[in-house]
Amino acid sequence: MRKRVQFLGALLWTGMSLVAADVSFEEKLLLKTTTPVGWDEYAFSPDGRLLAYSERTKDRKYVLVVGDKKGEPFDVIQGVTFCSDCKTVAYEAGLGNKRYFVIGDQKVEAFDIPSKPVFSERGNSVAYGDRKTREMKKRVVFNGKPGEWFDTVDDLMLNPDGTTVAYSASQPNPQKGMPLHFMVVNDKKGEAFYSVSAPIFSTDGKSVAYIAANITPDGKSEEWYVVVDDKKSEVYPDRMAWLSFIPNGKEVAFIAKKGGKLFIVMGEKKIEDAELFGLSCLVVSPDGKTAAYDVATKTGWCMVVGDKRGAVFEGSSFGVPVFSPDSTMVSYWVEKGGNRRMVVGDKVGEEFKQMGQPFFSPVGNKVVYPATDEAHGYMVVDGRKQEGTPLPFSEPPPSWSPDGSCMAYRVTTYSVTGPTGQYVIAGDKKSEEFKYVTLPVFSPDGKKVAFGARKDYTDPKTNQSVYELWWKVIDLK
């Protein structure tokens, strides 16, 4: 019998950011051991108050240790993850020929090694994929309740309040031919198509949208739709792109093509441009009133923000535009001749060999981005170069103090063979280098920064490998 799993943890998350008041700002050694700890066999709680790790027993089993509590023994423990309530831990486990997904004190039998769990932002729900390898079947388990078996399951997502799970799935076509694809929202399968995209949720988490396609009855062409809460848009002959919900609403925006012409759909409005020869991105401002997109014209590429065209760059490519929190400013990189420059509003910055996505500070008064030249990496703040680029460029954005005056971020160091370590820069201070560090968090008064850290070294006296897991604090006073 499979148990229904429920989470009743405290709601410690605002969007995707932990409320700083709940974080520990006391430095503490959480674990020191000579037994190797695998990379997916431990996790820091988001508030830094607990460590969960796999410990080997005398009879060669493994138990999960959370604070001073130990779980039941298994042959294998992996994929250790804290729920955002900062107390509940989820992990994969194996015992004999059986596989389990363990969430807190509850154990759910799985048919095979489950996929990494997806938690809701509030930490009250969890979903994960389960599969029968021999039968090539997959399903989603949402809060302990198994869903229908499908041939494929992809793009698993939960809405912020944890009440809805959405994912794409496929089944064999009874008419033979191409498999049927569905969007599944909780237990409900949507209309069958020959293709569906990943789902997206509206800001309030109550609506689901996706792109879908069918083959025309004669089999010669495609029919494309945007589907919002099971309602299809008009038919388009080509695939749409850059689908998003307009913030604070249930309408969507996307790029479409009809009659050989590209245009933007933004709710009930269509944005057309006679000079428009190409569109490669579309972003809607946080207030939902303005669209930013780069277009190819007869003379080059330019960024359009609302009804204002930016400078035309001949033979260039652009990065995805990023709006400031108040929707008044846009930043993006432009590439020409193998080098990039950052554009902020109407200003074009210094040239670099490579650069990543720009980030605005929470109050929108600073623009930050990682960049590299031939020999060095930098974090660039309002055009000024600082030490340390958090390579690769897919790193999360920097953390900011509550007043937006100070920034903290993780830096990865490299050798010719790959990553060698990580450290944290906070304001004008730098931590020691560790094997791994978590993303830094500011205290409510902005005077301290906390992060988890792993330190591996060899004890010179015993020549043994030592593994330490710390909750570290940088004092910015």
3-class SS string, the chain: CCCCCCCCCCCCEECCEECHHHCCCCCEEEEEECCCCCCCCEEECCCCCCEEEEEECCCCCEEEEECCEECCCECEEEEEEECCCCCCEEEEEEECCEEEEEECCEEEEECCCCCCCEECCCCCCEEEEEEECCCCEEEEEECCEECCCECEEEEEEECCCCCCEEEEEEECCCCCCCCEEEEEECCEECCCECEECCCEECCCCCCEEEEEEEECCCCCCEEEEEEECCEECCCECCCCEEEEECCCCCCEEEEEEECCEEEEEECCEEECCCCCCEECCCEECCCCCCEEEEEECCCCEEEEECCEECCCECCCEECCCEECCCCCCEEEEEEECCEEEEEECCEEEEEECEECCCEECCCCCCEEEEEECCCCEEEEECCEEEECCCCCCCCCCCEECCCCCCEEEEEEEEECCEEEEEEEEECCEECCCECEECCCEECCCCCEEEEEEEEEEECCCCCCEEEEEEEEEEECC
Is 73 part of any domain? Answer: yes
Whether 380 contacts 356, CB under 8 Å: no
pLDDT at 16: 32
**Number of structural domains the chain divides into:** 1
How many helices (DSSP H) and strands (DSSP E) are in the chain?
A: 0, 51
Give which of 369, 436, 444 is closest to 400, Cα–Cα: 444
Is 29 part of any domain? Answer: yes
- Per-residue pLDDT of the chain (477 residues), as tens digits, is 223 232 222 222 222 334 455 789 999 999 999 988 888 899 999 888 899 999 999 999 999 999 889 999 999 999 899 887 788 898 989 999 888 888 888 888 887 766 778 888 877 788 888 888 778 899 999 988 899 999 999 999 999 889 999 999 999 988 877 899 999 999 899 999 999 999 999 999 999 999 999 998 888 889 999 999 999 999 999 888 999 999 977 899 999 988 888 889 999 888 887 666 678 889 999 999 999 998 887 778 889 999 898 888 887 788 899 999 999 999 999 988 889 999 999 899 999 988 888 999 988 888 999 888 877 778 888 888 876 655 555 567 889 998 888 999 988 888 888 888 999 999 989 999 999 999 999 999 999 999 999 999 999 999 999 999 999 999 998
- Measured distance CA(293)–CA(321) in Å, rounded: 7
Domain range for 44: 1-149
ω before 444 within 30° of 0 (cis)? no
Is 272 part of any domain? Answer: no
pLDDT at 2: 29
pLDDT at 223: 94
Is 44 part of any domain? Answer: yes
Q: Identify the DSSP state of 299.
A: S
pLDDT at 104: 84
Is 274 part of any domain? Answer: no
Which pLDDT tens digit goes with each residue over 440-475? 999 999 999 999 999 999 999 999 999 999 999 999
pLDDT at 68: 86
pLDDT at 124: 77
Is 34 part of any domain? Answer: yes
HSE value, Cβ hemisphere, 13 Å, CA-based, for 37: 26
Whether 173 contacts 179, CB under 8 Å: yes
- What letter represents residue 114's amino acid? P
Is 157 part of any domain? Answer: no
Is 58 part of any domain? Answer: yes
Whether 197 contacts 211, CB under 8 Å: yes
